[in-house]
Structure 1
């Protein structure tokens, strides 16, 4: 399939505030320079990103549709009008790749329904980078997103997924709201088997990157502060434990 001028481009952003040129492909920068219609979670941070990667681009000419928890669902069907009029559009996440652990998935689904070509661009995904660096089963893993907030429900979910991990040798991947990271880690350490392998991947692709995999019993001896730091958690209970 040849690329359409009116396609929806999935534009990855950085995972931190470090030099974006080091983590983004030239293709991303090329398309950001060409596109004037964008869909983003936050217009202010999206404009800042565009200014970083395309400093000579006119900000005045940019058009934004904001997609977040405050967006009226009745407005979403009209978000791709520019594409339908022959203009390319860019979909951005607040961090990393759009459409994965990100509200942009509903826009991608809409594009397929409207027969608009979807073109994903290469960029950093904290989930895949953490999985790559974990040493756990990269051939069989599941991304679970957020677990329940309720403490009892969360513990039950951890136990259930640990059992599933053992039975299917499947690594289990999670995220948490950054200000709850330390409490989530405490609950993982108190709920998991002492020999279950746990990977903590924090501030990925930045100068403060921290990635380490240890048995739960070893993590209990460590002092790690994850407060307000973007973190991926991965665990796997292996058969030899």
Structure 2
């Protein structure tokens, strides 16, 4: 059975995505929701007030962030249980993605309050879509620890990860972060830096971690703004990265084709990297 989506004037907690830079990315449903709910819970009311003013939204604002005490969460849930509708927004992008809201959403659901997502901009998805890195499997790691020792320890736990890794990073730490990544993953590991997405000075640049270190060090402008840093996962060993279907297809193709031809065709069929297929085929030879 298909559920009907609550109208913004019905009692519910609406998790509303807002633009990450370009105000043209504000979706109509988000505007309608923010106009019609009883109250908007915002990470920073001064920051959000400018957004609401731009769209002529006059709904009352109150501050909510992850450092709010339990009493504020309870007060918001009480308003929801009394029949009011509440919209949750962050400073930019989709709430709860390295932003406040987890405790409020969880408590609302436990109380039987309906939680309705109003999707829109999300920096990690926007960055990944334009990165050229594998996007079928990825791991979002959020912000790394600010201190180098703790950051290096966290990175060491990710060295064997084969999925694309996605991080948020503050501009004043980007040089140190890239240097620590080069140490942990190897200077030649492929990475992409996406900076100021959807804004005037949007920059998306890829290369080795070493080349990104040099790029950022040479241009002070690359140490400003909001940043998403993506690192290609570890290259899987031949066989380790091949599922049963890929191995079966390669076995069939190798009966009729050369290793090079079979690897090329299998890569087109399965989406597995040709290099990985080629290496597996070589290892099967007597």
TM-score range, shorter chain: 0.7 to 0.9
The structure with the larger Rg is 2
Structure 1 segment 65-104 matched on structure 2, within 5 A: 65-68=62-65, 70-104=67-101
- Secondary structure of the residue that 1:158 maps to in structure 2? helix
TM-score, normalised with respect to structure 1: 0.85
Larger helix fraction of residues: 2
Is it true that 1:151 corresponds to 2:148 in the alignment?
yes
Q: Which runs of 5+ in 2 are unaligned?
A: 237-274, 277-286
Match of 1:131 among 128, 133, 138: 128
Distance apart, 1:210 and its partner CA:
0.9
Distance 1:229 1:129, change over 3 A: same
CA distance in 1 between counterparts of 2:144 and 2:190 reads: 19
CA distance in 1 between counterparts of 2:154 and 2:219 reads: 23
**What residue number does 2:20 align with?**
15
**What residue number does 1:121 align with?**
118
TM-score, normalised with respect to structure 2: 0.73
135-144 or 215-224: which moved more?
215-224
CA distance in 2 between counterparts of 1:216 and 1:97 reads: 28
206-215 or 177-186: which moved more?
177-186
Question: Does structure 2 retain, via aligned residues, the 8 Å contact 1:189–1:219?
Answer: no
Match of 1:235 among 227, 231, 234: 231
Higher relative CO (Cα under 8 Å, sequence separation at least 6) belongs to 1
Question: Does structure 1 retain, via aligned residues, the 8 Å contact 2:195–2:203?
Answer: yes
CA distance in 2 between counterparts of 1:39 and 1:132 reads: 30
CA RMSD in angstroms, aligned pairs only? 2.1
23-32 or 217-226: which moved more?
217-226
Q: Which runs of 5+ in 1 are unaligned?
A: none
Give the aligned length. Answer: 229
